[in-house]
Chain A
Amino acid sequence: MPLWTFYGLRQGKASTRWPADGDDGQAGVLGMPRFDPEKCQDGCRECVEVCLPGAITIAADDAGGPHSSRLDVNYGRCIACQMCVESCPTGAFTASDDWAFGVRRREDLVWARAAASPEGTALRGEIRRIFGRSLHVRHVDAGSCNGCESELQALNNPFYNLHRLGIFFTPSPRFADLLLVTGPVTYAMRGPLEEAYRAMPEPRFVMAIGTCAVSGGVNGGGHACGRGVEDVLPIDVYLPGCPPNPAAIIEALLMLLQRAPQRVNGGRIVEDANRA
């Protein structure tokens, strides 16, 4: 046993200081593809046809003028499979490292030319004072592929070391402030999910983690699944991704606590968003 203590000490510190500074650990990760409607070709449907979860669709109306995009891009459905990037003949979709896609309103995930400012969606002002330094989280798997769980488990590894930010997982929903839900909500998990929510004390928050929880993902609306958490519980933060990486989850948690700004607006990362 003492050998392990010595071994542990010799390994030194492994935790990143991110997001204060240092490495976020996501070098190379491809996030949601960026969309540039100016490059879109008239009548081309390549991306629509290869978009399995239906994140890219033909716009219902074409009333936006001659240069308007004919595509609707909803990042709440995007599984970052990069198929649109590979199929697009004109480079309207490009690979990017945009993965910090947490938002408070699902509309913010839809690509839009002119969107409201993120400040317009201020959360209850009290949340930072009450929970800012101590947030207890209960996770419920409502039918994921285990990808989101794998990344949630990674939050407690020595690199991310979530405890350093005052955020803790708790076994019982009765001690939880936040419910993290993954998966499209299968018919069998809907009941247990509602029960877990009912067991939580007020005030309580819900975060939909992963594209399945946000919109149903690839299975949404099948014979065994709903279309995400929205039909079951009120959601405070949406975080699409397939799966969202640990840094994206941390950003979304800090965003809930108003310790970090929402970076996405109108389906785009706002580059100059001030870091809290």
Chain B
Amino acid sequence: MTGEQPPSSEPLARDSLMRDVPVWDLEPRCRAAIAEGARVQFAYAWFPEKTNEMPAEAGASAAPPGARVPELRYIIHPAPDHAPEIWRCQPGVLQPPSLAAVAPLVSWYEREITDLCGLGFEDQPQPEPLVLLPGAHAERPPLQPGIAPPLVYTPEAQSLPEIAGSAHRDVQLLPFGPIRADVFESAQFTFFYIGEGILHYQPQLFFKYRGMEKRFEGVTPELGVVLAERVSAVGSVAHALAYSHALESAAQCEVPPRAEWLRVLLAELERLYNHLHYFGHLCHTTTLKVGEAQGKYLEELAKQMNAEATGSRFLRNLVRPGGLRREPWLTEIAGSLRKIESEFGPYAQMLESSSTHLDRLMTTGVLGKQLAFDLGATGPIERASGIDRDPRRDQPYGIYRELPLRVAVREGCDARARQQVRIAEAQNSIELIRAVLQGLPQGPISVPCGPPAHSEGLGWAESPRGSVYYAVHVDAAGRLARVKIKSPSFSNWRVFPYTVHDTNMMDYAINEASFGLTIAGCAR
């Protein structure tokens, strides 16, 4: 991928590069890129207003006049620290090839495109719907511009694998959910197991598909941030940031320094309370009761600190495209942070030295490095499997370059490593918050951000669970035409089942907690 750039490539803001890729070249080009160390980040489709004629494709533009045809976008990182490339592909009437065999993580994005944009892929290894539940049917592709009629739904049982062989009578089937014990998000899991051993695990997610991406259609860029904050509440800041970055890229506007500093403050406050919650919940699954209580207590202190600083326990209602909506109240943070830090140090030490707790974590939920890469694991999950990647450092945004950011990487690949990564990140977040409080410059916190008609932008942010990407397209009236959300839980749910097959039932809850997944972010 080095050197040569086809004449059709055009630079976008923030150094993203757009390339037109004809359908026939998709697979070979992707294969070549991956061989050179590239990583496909995500893919989506949208319906552009005017179809650009693709010269090379014979018969490609034979769609009925006036009808909008979906256009494919693949977001690719040529190397970990390179700006992303955007591959634009206009399949026209052709069926694009599935890239699942080349880059397995693309498979879910392709199935999502089929469900929501009505575009199928040739040789897709798992052609059944992903986002739509068995028995759900869309009369027209929901993401096609205009009003989407309600989904037609006659519940059907999901298809499960046949169990054959001499011992098939010993295999037990356990359906669990969608309403699960305790206060949990809705999702259904099916286990096939013998005794304690899990033979096969099949999750049915997307009970919570709300149509968030569709909801952005026709909304003003200014108001879209309110929606972005409500995709996944525990990732409100990261979603608002990625969304705003995308629009700032489309509008080519520069956020004032003070706003950049404060955005880091918000992002790290979000990481802190999420990781504290994570430790409490992880202790719950290893039945370490005092550890659970302490983790959840520290999370509560962090959320109360959030409220005192921003008026929202989830740090909402501050980020906007172009900067911040208003100043946070910083007077209380230093004191609250000191209390949390003084309690977190000994707590983390206890977690890392309790044999009963560690016994349950070590060798649980092993996710190898190659698998993590191929299936697109992100955030603390990939970093606990030895992949040294963090957009805060590699595709830097805001002022992370000027701050003492330390990217935590562990090679353990198990639940213990995932705990270690998060402990290190929580400690680093406290440092970063303090650094912001000390170095915060004076100045304005906002500039106007009006993306021009027909512009588009790509933005990203590292949430507590991994990378969030927003791809934003603006229509002729300056409103949002299409917003694609790549959430970290979508990526990590893709990976998670591979760590469950051939493990023990009693470890399942610990393994799931060690991933720290959300359903809302995944299903959207």
Contact = CB atoms under 8 A, between A and B. Distances in A.
Contact of A225 (B182, B210, B297): B210
Contact of B300 (A11, A145, A159, A243): A159
Interface string A20-38: 0000011111100000000
Given A28-B309, A86-B325, A188-B209, A144 B296 contact: no
Interface stretch (B43-51, B258-266, B312-320, B468-476): B312-320
B contact patch SS: loop
Interface stretch (A2-10, A102-110, A128-136): A2-10
A149 B277 CA distance: 12
B505 interface: no
A141 interface: yes
A245 B354 CA distance: 33
Contacts of B149: 223
B299 to A, nearest CB: 7
A223 B312 CA distance: 29
A225 B215 CA distance: 11
A187 B226 contact: no
A51 to B, nearest CB: 9
Interface stretch (A62-70, A75-83, A252-260, A262-270): A75-83
A74 interface: no
B520 A144 contact: yes
Contact of A157 (B148, B230, B300): B300
Interface string A176-188: 0000000110111
B290 A143 contact: no
Given A7-B350, A171-B181, A223-B149, A154 B519 contact: no
B238 interface: no
Contacts of B512: none
A153 B236 CA distance: 18
Contacts of B155: 191
A147 B237 CA distance: 13
A contact patch SS: loop
B337 interface: no
A46 B151 CA distance: 34
B290 A153 contact: no
Interface in A165-220: 169, 171, 173, 183-184, 186-189, 191-192, 196, 217-219
Given A29-B307, A147-B234, A171-B182, A81 B316 contact: yes
Given A146-B234, A147-B314, A218-B226, A188 B520 contact: no
A186 B231 CA distance: 14
Given A8-B290, A145-B233, A154-B303, A188 B133 contact: yes
B521 to A, nearest CB: 7
Contacts of B332: 28
B80 to A, nearest CB: 30
B239 to A, nearest CB: 10
Contacts of B233: 144-148, 150, 243
B215 A218 contact: yes
Nearest to A23: B304
Contacts of A26: 304, 307
B197 to A, nearest CB: 25
A27 B300 CA distance: 13
B317 A146 contact: no
A141 B186 contact: yes
Interface in B142-198: 142, 148-151, 153, 155, 178-179, 181-186
A174 to B, nearest CB: 12
A157 B153 contact: no
Contacts of A223: 138, 142, 148-151, 211, 214
B126 interface: no
Interface string A116-143: 0000000000000000000000011111
A188 B207 CA distance: 5
A30 B311 contact: yes
Contacts of B151: 187, 223-224
Given A1-B356, A79-B226, A86-B326, A140 B179 contact: yes
A195 to B, nearest CB: 8
Contacts of B303: 154
B12 interface: no
Contacts of B307: 26-29, 245
A3 B350 contact: yes
Contacts of A7: 290, 294, 346, 350
A176 B148 CA distance: 37
A112 interface: no
A8 B223 contact: no
A186 B518 CA distance: 17
Nearest to A50: B223
Contacts of B136: 187-188
A79 B326 contact: no
A152 interface: yes
Nearest to A154: B300
Contacts of A28: 307-311, 329, 332
B227 A157 contact: no
A186 B234 contact: no
A94 interface: no
A114 interface: no
Contacts of B102: none
Q: Which of B149, B150, B309, B313 lies at the interface centre, i.e. has the most chain A CB atoms within 10 A of its CB? A: B313
B520 A27 contact: no
Contact of A184 (B210, B227, B311): B210
Closest 5 CB pairs of A and B: A147-B233, A30-B311, A157-B296, A223-B148, A171-B181
25 contacts: A7-B290, A25-B300, A28-B329, A82-B311, A141-B179, A146-B519, A147-B230, A147-B236, A149-B183, A153-B296, A157-B296, A158-B296, A160-B300, A171-B181, A183-B208, A187-B151, A189-B186, A189-B208, A192-B186, A218-B227, A223-B211, A225-B210, A225-B211, A242-B230, A243-B233
Given A151-B313, A191-B155, A245-B313, 14 more contacts: A4-B291, A8-B293, A26-B304, A83-B226, A139-B183, A145-B520, A146-B232, A147-B234, A147-B236, A150-B314, A158-B293, A218-B215, A243-B314, A245-B307
Interface of A: 1, 3-5, 7-8, 11, 14, 25-30, 50, 52, 79-83, 86, 95, 139-154, 156-160, 169, 171, 173, 183-184, 186-189, 191-192, 196, 217-219, 222-225, 242-243, 245
